[in-house]
Amino acid sequence: MLALLESGFARTALEISSAVRIPEREVADHLVHLEKTLRSRGSKLTRLPAQCLSCNFVFRKREKIASPGRCPLCKGEFIAEPSFRVEIRTAEVYNSADHSIRLKGKEKK
Ligand SMILES: [Zn+2]
């Protein structure tokens, strides 16, 4: 699971669950554990929030890993699921400006 997330691509809970063969509802627990491991190594887990693909509304406050059903603004149902990836500290420091730009433009799959 760590290797999957360290590949640099954001993964949704569903993608993680199918890749490492754990139920989707257990992914959250694994992520909590993983987050601690990463922090002790100086890396961190980044959560990319869910986003409406119709109006680009971002579900920033939403902590759950499950995708929201529909958009509160436009009522659209095309929602990009929240996803997760690992930021490795050395890369982050070296490349931080570039990272933040990519984060902003990277909500769509
Ligand atoms: Zn919307």
Are the beta carbons of 24 and 17 closer than 8 angstroms?
Answer: yes
What is the distance in A from the centroid of ligand 1 to the CA of 79?
Answer: 8
- What digits encode the pLDDT tens for the residues 53-104? 999 999 987 666 666 788 999 999 999 988 999 987 654 444 444 544 455 5
What's the rounded Cα separation, in Å, for the pair 44 and 30?
14
What is the distance in A from the centroid of ligand 1 to the CA of 51?
Answer: 8
What is the distance in A from the centroid of ligand 1 to the CA of 13?
Answer: 21
DSSP H or E segment with residue 11? strand 11-12
Structural domain includes residue 77? yes
Structural domain includes residue 73? yes
Q: In the structure encoding, which two tokens stand for residue 70, read together? A: 């529909």
Number of domains composing the chain: 1
What is the distance in A from the centroid of ligand 1 to the CA of 31?
Answer: 27
Structural domain includes residue 81? yes
Distance of CA 105 to the CA centre of its chain: 13
Range of the domain at 17: 2-104
What is the distance in A from the centroid of ligand 1 to the CA of 21?
Answer: 32
Structural domain includes residue 109? no
- What digits encode the pLDDT tens for the residues 14-63? 999 999 999 988 998 999 999 999 999 888 899 889 999 999 999 987 66
Please give the pLDDT value at position 101.
47
